Amino acid sequence: MKMKRTFNIATGGICAAVCAVMLIISAGISFGQYTAAVLAGLILHIMSYKTGTGTALCSYVAASVAAFVFSADRSGLFLFIILTGYYPVLRSLICVRMGKKTAIIIIIKLLFSCITGTLYVMTFLFVLNIRPAFVLFEDKILAAVMIISYIVLFFIYDTALYLFEKSYKLKIISFLDRIIR
């Protein structure tokens, strides 16, 4: 039991370091800020199945803090912190707890996307004061359009996570099992 616990802690530290390095390096690539945030979330998603949700969430916190301290790019980092870092871990937990109750899962995801979308847009518009160059509307209309587009992108991201689980998760976990043995 103690060996498994040590293995989980070591795996969590390695995954947190890989996620943080991906987020830090992503500042040098033009489209890399969002790609690195999504890939780091996928690493945590695989890790949640391998080591458990507690270790994955601890790795998420460690990667977020390390990337926040050392990263020059804030937009990809905030996307990782607000959505792509912990949502894959929570998604697996929600789907396991709810089972086949599709209506309840959709309602939970819609509420979750509205809350995180509002946080993400308000962070950009009012905290970081980042606005598009073609601002034609008032801040309220722009915020509403951005929140709606965030919700659409959230469900596209959720569908991509589902397809990733369905297609590649078992293959990657079996590959990791062969490497560890």
Per-residue pLDDT for 132 more than 60?
A: no
Q: Rounded to an integer, what distance in angstroms lies between the CA atom of residue 82 and that of residue 80?
A: 6
Residue 133 pLDDT level (bands cut at 50, 70, 90): very low
Look up residue 62 and give its amino acid. A
- Reply yes or no on whether the pLDDT at 181 is more than 70: no
Q: Reply yes or no on whether the pLDDT at 26 is more than 70.
A: yes
Question: Can you give the pTM of this predicted structure?
Answer: 0.77
Out of 66-80, 95-109, 166-180, give the one with best mean pLDDT: 66-80
Give the residue-averaged pLDDT of 155-163. Answer: 85
Assign 84 to helix, strand or coil: helix
8 A C-beta contact, residue 58 and residue 18: no
- State the greatest distance between any 2 C-alpha atoms of the chain, in Å, as a whole number: 60
CA 118, chain centre distance (Å): 16
Q: Which residue has the tokens 């919700």?
A: 151
Q: Please give the Cα distance from 111 to 161 (Å, whole number).
A: 18
Query: What tokens appear for 106 in the block?
Result: 């959709």
- For 75-125, the pLDDT digits (tens) are 778 888 888 888 888 887 777 777 777 777 778 788 888 888 777 777 766
Residues 57-73 have a mean pLDDT of 88
- Give the pLDDT mean for 136-144: 65
d(CA 46, CA 41): 9
CATH of domain 2-180: 1.10.1760
Mean pLDDT of the chain, nearest integer? 79
Q: What are phi and psi of 29, to 5 degrees?
A: -110, 135
